[in-house]
Amino acid sequence: MCGIVAYFGNKPAQPILIEGLKRLEYRGYDSAGIALLENGTFQVTKSPGRISNLEEMLAGRHSPATLGIGHTRWATHGRPNQVNAHPHVDCTGKIAVVHNGIIENYATLKKWLLKEGCTFLSETDTEVVANLIGYFYQRNQNRNGQLAPHGCNRFEWAVQQALSEIYGTYGLAILCADCPNVLIGAKKGSPLILGVGKNEFLIASDAAAIVKHTTQAIYLADGEMVIVDSGGFQTKTLSNEQVQKELKEIEISLDQIELEGFRHYMEKEIAEQPTALETCLNGRVDLKNGRIILGGISNYLRELTRAKRIILTACGTAWHAALVGEFLFEQLARIPAEVEYASEFRYRNPILEEGTVVIAISQSGETADTLAAVEQAKERGALVLGIVNVVGSSIARLTDAGVYLRVGPEIGVASTKAFTAQVAVLAMLAIELGRRRHLSTDTVQNLLQELTSIPQKIKRILRQSEAIRQIADANKDRENWLFLGRGFNYPVALEGALKLKEISYIHAEGLPAAEMKHGPIALITDKMPAVFIATRCSQYEKIIGNIEEVRARGGKTIVVATEGDEQIKPYADYLIPIPETCEPLQPMLTVVPLQMLAYHAAVLRGHDVDKPRNLAKSVTVE
């Protein structure tokens, strides 16, 4: 949530900051701004709305400054306007800050700072950070009377003193007007990395902002800060202890974050799913020996095989993947499983008895609620595994072990390829545990054969894009939709409804098909499309009955069905055929036409698919 980028080097900072912000805009796009340190003064430019607005304000300006910070915002405290946009400068004009996160005790600190003579211009919690650092920097001592060091060490000291007073989460990039050769970053609960180039450094909340300039980076851990100056960089804890960090290769490449001829990132990422899944499965499905190889959790497979209970925790789309995982673990591995919203799990008093395994799922690996759930589960002694996409992310570092999705960066706010990969990883894990517990060799071999065929089958579904666009066009003005499925396809109904809500702004409900007649059937009219996932499965005849119930009340049906199914045709006003596969693996196929349906509906309604209103890609604040 929110995007941070900072530059210190020998090139003009302004174009580098703007370029970085554009690559981070999927993290928030309510407002944007930059601060350049020029001749001992901050040149701050801020604008509400998209980064293109900021670019227009800067048109014709060519600052020579080689040190600066930038920010694109997803609003938490304060309306998305120019005053509340970052960067924020303290009341003395000495400290400039950009911030991702939430300062929980900002109201108390603000009240105290006002008494101390500080003034505020914005409604944000971030301005408190700027003023608190400025307070310690100007007064040369902390609240215990400890004196500050001299020179730019005082800036570093002031940051440490201020952050020791703060409760909450933050990723910060900080400048001091008196220190034209110093850039400081600090992290707690929000991602922050330092890119190390040739005589230049970049701080960012995401590697996408820096990969054009360097492929070498360090990843800050919670409670750490990095100080960059003309001599290089050093990392410390907030209590001033030196920390040695290893330079790591950034996993993504520049071409992976370009549109490459597609109109939108969501369109590109839907189309990438066959290749992304092949990469996810590559080297992990051993057809010759009939087994799954997941190196990241190999040391814990005996413990997993003996598990008495599995809890899957996630948010949003990842929660829907987790729900598929529940069905997979119970049917294939015969292990009791349950799914918890991470936002609820973290505030409950969950029972985590011996033999419980917790699996946290998050595309970014930075989802605040999921991260908090992981911390709670670890405190209670559970084995905690992570399924994430971003290498080096907080969940990847905190969990005992885990599996990377390996699908490349996902820029579109509405998750697509990450969902199919999450289901693929859960399927691999369930198959391997089932093999170790009770599944026959033939059953495992059939499952593995089907799993490896999924990418090619998705390619066949993608060829129906124009036909699905026509279905979307015929129904795009309907403001209420139902999505209905049974068994393994019930979570897909939830995901289809979420996609339509996220990017088309159409109200949609996802339900188990049998639950429709327990209330929601009252909503059925010829103005409400009902999307049924009615593939050949163990509950096929039952879902035919549910479709009949809708049609009897004048409802229009959009049916996702198995290729060659002639029986279903009379029940569908609009039919989307998909290739056949075994029931546990169907969600990886049935979700794809629903992603495409939502995408086309959003485009036809004139919405910004990649930047839907009020949303950001990664929810790193509570």
Would you tell me how many other CB atoms lie within 10 Å of the CB of residue 247? 11
- Which pLDDT does position 598 carry in this prediction? 97
Q: Half-sphere exposure (CA, 13 Å, Cβ side) for 176?
A: 26
Check if 259-461 and 464-610 are the same fold.
yes
- What residue ranges in 318-470 does DSSP mark as E strands? 337-341, 356-362, 383-388, 401-404
- Which pLDDT does position 264 carry in this prediction? 94
Give the mean model confidence (pLDDT) for residues 411-426.
Answer: 95
- Which pLDDT does position 613 carry in this prediction? 81
Give the mean model confidence (pLDDT) for residues 508-525.
Answer: 84
Q: Which CATH number fits domain 464-610: 3.30.565.10, 3.40.50.10490, 1.20.140.10, 1.10.3720.10?
A: 3.40.50.10490
Sign of CA dihedral 181, 130, 69, 158: positive
Query: Helix, strand or coil for residue 599?
Result: helix
Distance of alpha carbon 128 from alpha carbon 19, whole angstroms: 28
Element (H, E) at 66: none
Does domain 3-100+168-250 bear CATH number 3.30.450.90? Answer: no
Q: Where are the alpha helices (DSSP H) in 147-214?
A: 153-164
Q: Catalytic site residues? A: 2, 617
- Which pLDDT does position 209 carry in this prediction? 86
Least confident stretch, 132-146, 287-301, 586-600: 132-146
- Which pLDDT does position 143 carry in this prediction? 66
Closest CA to 110 of 118, 102, 101, 99: 118
May I ask the CATH class of domain 259-461? alpha beta
Closest CA to 276 of 429, 406, 449: 406
Q: What are phi and psi of 213, to 5 degrees?
A: -105, -25
- The overall average pLDDT reported for the chain is 92
**pLDDT at 551 > cutoff 90:** no
How sure is the predictor about 136, in pLDDT bands with cuts at 50, 70 and 90?
Answer: very high
> What Cα–Cα distance (Å) separates residue 271 from each residue in 254, 405, 460, 600?
18, 17, 11, 13
> What residue spans define the domains of the chain?
3-100+168-250, 259-461, 464-610
Q: What are phi and psi of 239, to 5 degrees?
A: -95, 15
- Which pLDDT does position 141 carry in this prediction? 67
CB 410 within 8 A of CB 417: yes
Element (H, E) at 147: none
Distance of alpha carbon 152 from alpha carbon 137, whole angstroms: 10
Higher-pLDDT residue of 50, 534 = 534
